[in-house]
Amino acid sequence: MTRGRRVHGTAWLMVLLTAVAGWVDAVAYVRDGEVFVANQTGNAVFLAVQIAERAAPGVSHIRVTVGDDAFGPLASLIGFCLGVAASVLPLRRARRRGDTTPPWHLLAIEALMLAAVVLLAGTPREIRLALAAAAMGLQSVYAAGVAMRGVTTTTLTGTLVALISTLADDPGRRARQAMLLLSGVWIAYTVGAWGGAAAGLTWSIGTAHGLAALAAGAAAFAVWREAAAKT
């Protein structure tokens, strides 16, 4: 496989993973009390607002509510951190083998975690949120290992910064290719979120997460097949 085809394939993989993040974020938001599982910045804001509602003088007159309680956002934050921590062992093994690319096992574990949400759809929402967030933590580590500028797959702020700065800095061919990728990432998250919201409002939680697990599993298989072709 040539380097150009490999880069092209990796770019499409990042777009797919970003769509998965948008999907599960929207499902969690519409079905589990306005909580994110990929975008942890939003959960930090939700927690801060809830603390302010309970502690700030006079806030009861404003009544700005972002959810029923703090347990959902907190479970998501903890799950995300555990997912990142769980990636340490596969990454360490890959480095010992001299492999500089993130291992496909990360995406396989992500798919299994999303599949676990399907099996545990009837459990308290905190369990589902923690599992889905852990899957997104693993995905974030994988994307960081790929190291495409502005593409984290789970947040869009860095993508927006990279897109606008690239547009302003360099109008050349390489910049246009980068802008095409970054625009695709943005659109993928948005379309994924739209699909996830529609699925979350009409389908069961298990079905919605099952589709996300299949997409993550397909991504893991694609990375595994590419790695196997090199050996």
pLDDT digit string, tens, across residues 144-198: 988 888 899 999 999 989 888 887 776 666 777 888 889 999 999 999 999 999 9
In 3D space, the residue among 88, 8, 36 whose CA is nearest the CA of residue 197 turns out to be: 36
In 3D space, the residue among 165, 144, 145 whose CA is nearest the CA of residue 154 turns out to be: 144
Phi then psi for 183, rounded to 5 degrees?
-65, -40
Q: Average pLDDT for residues 110-125, to the nearest whole number?
A: 96
Output the 3-class SS for 109-167.
HHHHHHHHHHHCCCCCHHHHHHHHHHHHHHHHHHHHHHCCCCCCCCCCHHHHHHHHHHH
* Other residues' Cβ atoms within 10 Å of the Cβ of residue 6: 13
Q: Which domains does the chain have, with CATH numbers?
A: 3-230 (1.20.1250)
Over residues 55-107, the pLDDT tens digits come to 766 655 455 545 557 899 999 999 999 999 999 888 888 888 877 778 899 99
